Amino acid sequence: MATNRASRSDWLRRWIILAGAIAVTCVAIVFIASRKKPPPTGVERFSKSVRVEFVASDPADAQWKLGYDLVVFAKLSNGEIVAPVVQVERPRFSGFMGGIRVERVWEATSHGIHQRQPAENFPVHDKITQYDLLVRQRASTDQAVPEWRIWLVPVDRVRGHESATLQLPDIQSLPLLSERADQAALLAKERAAREYVYYLDER
């Protein structure tokens, strides 16, 4: 009888150890799965942003109706230029008859601006010293796609404000992106930021 009790006690002890190991493994798997991978090189997340509205010098300008492609980069205090991913509030449907709820989502800062959608979210942080914007005119179907140009915006035009307004310059007077040595690197960072946002959205 003593042998049987010892055997049962030993079996129970092993079962408890096994169950504990399984529980720890499950917790570890859930923790690892819930973690978001860090952004790729050249991309950085910013939890705060300011909505910046663009205005044309001539609101009746036909190009402003057609719009511009815009990509926002942030230059940091260490000299690095990063493609920002910003967290913003967006309404989302919560399913059939579920109504709409507001969620904080991640977005890349590469969109089109035009007369009906003239705003973009700029990241804000103490380490940002300047915004490097890529901008080009949107072409009609029978036109070649114009080249990207660089528009440098001082950080104090955006930081410290609840919202901001920027007047579009004469785009053709801005320097060409192709004249910069980091052209390929900037475009690669912009693509990486869009891919990273897609990954975050899938999570």
**91 CB neighbour count, 10 Å cutoff:** 10
- 136-156 residue pLDDT tens: 998 877 778 899 999 999 999
Nearest-angstrom CA–CA distance, 169 and 50: 20
- Taking 70 as the pLDDT cut, the residues of the chain under it are 1-9, 11-15, 18-36, 93-99, 203
Nearest-angstrom CA–CA distance, 163 and 147: 29
Nearest-angstrom CA–CA distance, 138 and 168: 14
What is residue 15's predicted lDDT score, i.e. its pLDDT?
67
Indicate the average pLDDT of the chain.
84
Parse the chain into domains and list their residue ranges. Answer: 1-35, 43-202
Query: Strand locations in the chain, DSSP E?
Result: 43-46, 49-55, 68-76, 81-93, 100-108, 110-113, 119-123, 128-137, 149-154, 163-167
The span from the first CA to the last CA of the chain, in angstroms, equals 56
Question: What tokens were used for 67?
Answer: 């719009």
Q: How far is CA 180 from the centre of its chain?
A: 24
Nearest-angstrom CA–CA distance, 70 and 117: 12
What is residue 26's predicted lDDT score, i.e. its pLDDT?
45
What is residue 28's predicted lDDT score, i.e. its pLDDT?
41
Of residues 190, 200, 199, the one with CA closest to residue 74:
190
